[in-house]
């Protein structure tokens, strides 16, 4: 690397540090006694090991640790087929397709389904992977105000034409604010504009919300009307990978056009089998979901302090500091008391909305919650 290039990158890092936005990889916390409020391990499965699951499924350790090729070339298909058939039994009348991650799913699916002749209307707070998929597609796109169906209708009135491909793209549970999309309201809009397609990312809802943890689309009035539902295994499911629930036609199209599916080595068969076992566990674990709801209510009371300030009751809740430096300092002070809540800064969230993002796990104890309440009072001056 030339000196001028090196200098440029060093200056960028220096600017990030000065603004309180320099990111580093945190240290290993697996064996720490600290209470972790930054994990996406919503159901508390994250501590399970292969030894634990081998007692439930003795064949698991004998499966290959690699597929050695993309799904279209891999010799081993049995585990993938079994998992996709399982998902299809849960999401009636639809087909399933497994992707390597939520990022692979969103970039690959949107990049395949949209092109320069497509219009995409996306909620202003959709995940970066969705934005990247839109950019890869080269579609014309507009953002509507967050969770504002009136603003969505305004945009549709401007751009709708019968026969034009238009996609509405949302998340069901938003990753930084924890609030919910109104799926039924979106389906109503979809009916008002025939031909418009609806894409819902359930990354933070799968395992937690809806019947048996199957997401908010499944708890809507007519889940079959949602054209693409995407969810991940790497959060509540304590595994890795993602899946799409689509029609037979869209599955075939994605199989032939989604570049992230076609050109990536597929997940290891052992990982796929692990995922299937975790779904089986998740489906009947209403106790963990109820525990998570109870913790969410308590966290809401702790963060608002009974102030009556409007905020969502969810397994994801923000404490907005409005300043990166304050977020970093508050996170540091909490860590001194064995409470891990990592700061979220721009560009992950808009400037001026920097925050601590509390992400709950059913494994957290009542003592953890009480300690959080006590320590936040001590740090209120930040």
**For residues 65, 69, 70 and 72, what is the CA-based torsion angle, rounded to 10 degrees?**
-120
pLDDT for 19 = 83
Contacts of residue 210, Cβ cutoff 8 Å, sequence gap at least 6: 216, 217, 218, 219
pLDDT for 311 = 72
Label residue 139 exposed, middle or buried (CB < 10 Å: 0-12, 13-18, 19+): buried
Joined tokens for residue 371: 């300690």
CA nearest neighbour of 159 among 147, 146, 144: 144
Contacts of residue 94, Cβ cutoff 8 Å, sequence gap at least 6: 88, 224, 229, 245, 246, 247
With H, G, I as helix, E, B as strand and everything else as coil, classify residue 317. Answer: strand
The answer, yes or no, to whether the previous bond of 286 is cis (omega within 30 of 0) is: no
CA-to-CA dists, residue 378 to 197, 279, 293, 346, angstroms? 49, 40, 26, 26
Polymer length in residues for the chain: 382
- For the chain, give every domain's residue range: 21-43+286-378, 60-283
pLDDT for 131 = 97
pLDDT for 382 = 54
**For residues 257, 274, 84 and 185, what is the CA-based torsion angle, rounded to 10 degrees?**
-80
How far apart CA 354 and CA 344 sit, in angstroms, is 6
Tokens 């007692």 locate to 55
Instruction: Kindly list the catalytic residues.
Output: 40, 127, 171, 175, 201, 204, 235
The Cα diameter of the chain in Å comes to: 60
How far apart CA 158 and CA 247 sit, in angstroms, is 28
With H, G, I as helix, E, B as strand and everything else as coil, classify residue 315. Answer: coil
Joined tokens for residue 293: 């709801």
How far apart CA 23 and CA 13 sit, in angstroms, is 9
Question: What DSSP state is assigned to residue 237?
Answer: T
- Which element (helix H / strand E) includes 90? helix 78-90
pLDDT for 310 = 57
Buried/exposed 347-373: b ≥16 CB within 10 Å, e otherwise: ebbeeebbbbbbbbbbbbeeebbebbe
Q: pLDDT of the chain along its 382 residues, tens only?
A: 678 899 899 999 899 888 888 888 887 777 678 999 999 999 999 999 999 999 999 999 999 999 999 999 988 899 999 999 999 999 999 999 999 999 999 999 999 999 999 999 999 999 999 999 999 999 999 999 999 999 999 999 999 999 999 999 999 999 999 999 999 999 999 999 999 999 999 999 999 999 999 999 999 989 999 999 999 999 999 999 999 999 999 999 999 999 999 999 999 999 999 999 999 999 999 999 999 999 999 999 999 875 455 578 999 999 999 999 999 999 999 999 999 999 999 888 999 999 999 999 999 999 999 999 999 998 866 5
Tokens 């700061």 locate to 343
CA nearest neighbour of 361 among 305, 288, 311: 288
DSSP sequence for 59-73: TGGGS-S---SBTTT
pLDDT for 358 = 97
Joined tokens for residue 127: 């995940």
pLDDT for 22 = 85
How far apart CA 81 and CA 98 sit, in angstroms, is 10
- pTM value is 0.94
CATH number attached to the domain at 60-283 = 3.40.640.10
What φ, ψ does residue 249 adopt, rounded to 5°?
A: -65, -45
Contacts of residue 39, Cβ cutoff 8 Å, sequence gap at least 6: 46, 359, 361
Domain over 21-43+286-378 is classified CATH 3.90.1150.10: yes
Joined tokens for residue 273: 């089998």
């Amino acid at each position: 690397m030339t000196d001028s290039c090196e200098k440029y990158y060093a200056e960028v890092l220096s600017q990030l540090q000065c603004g309180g936005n320099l990111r580093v990889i945190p240290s290993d916390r697996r064996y720490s006694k600290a209470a972790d409020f930054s994990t996406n391990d919503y159901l508390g499965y994250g501590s399970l090991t292969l030894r634990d699951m081998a007692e439930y499924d003795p064949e698991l350790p004998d499966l290959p640790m690699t597929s050695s090729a993309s799904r279209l070339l891999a010799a081993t298909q049995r585990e993938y087929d079994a998992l996709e058939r399982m998902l299809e039994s849960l999401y009636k009348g639809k087909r399933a397709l497994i992707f390597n991650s939520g990022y692979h799913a969103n970039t690959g699916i949107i990049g395949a389904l949209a092109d320069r002749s497509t219009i995409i209307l996306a909620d202003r707070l959709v995940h970066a992977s969705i934005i990247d998929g839109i950019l890869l597609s080269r579609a014309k796109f507009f953002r509507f105000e967050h969770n504002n169906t009136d603003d969505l209708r305004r945009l549709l009135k401007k751009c709708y034409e019968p026969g034009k491909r238009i996609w509405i793209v949302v998340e069901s549970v938003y990753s930084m604010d924890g609030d919910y999309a109104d799926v039924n309201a979106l389906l109503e809009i979809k009916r008002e504009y025939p031909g418009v397609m609806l894409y819902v990312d359930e990354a933070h809802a799968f395992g937690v919300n809806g019947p048996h943890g199957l997401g908010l689309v499944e708890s809507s009035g007519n889940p079959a009307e949602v054209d693409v539902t995407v969810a991940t295994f790497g959060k509540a499911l304590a595994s890795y990978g993602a899946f799409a629930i689509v029609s037979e036609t869209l599955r075939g199209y994605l199989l032939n056009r989604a570049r992230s599916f076609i050109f990536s080595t597929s997940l290891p068969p052992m990982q796929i089998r692990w995922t299937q076992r975790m779904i089986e566990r998740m489906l009947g674990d209403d106790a963990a979901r109820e525990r998570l709801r109870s913790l969410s209510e308590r966290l809401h009371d702790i963060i608002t302090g009974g102030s009556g300030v409007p905020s969502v009751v969810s397994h994801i809740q923000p404490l907005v500091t409005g300043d990166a430096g304050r977020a970093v300092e508050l996170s540091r002070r909490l860590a001194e008391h064995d409470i891990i809540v990592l700061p979220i800064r721009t560009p992950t969230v808009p400037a001026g909305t920097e925050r601590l993002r509390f992400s709950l796990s059913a494994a957290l104890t009542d003592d953890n919650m009480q300690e959080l309440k006590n320590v936040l009072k001590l740090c209120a001056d930040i």
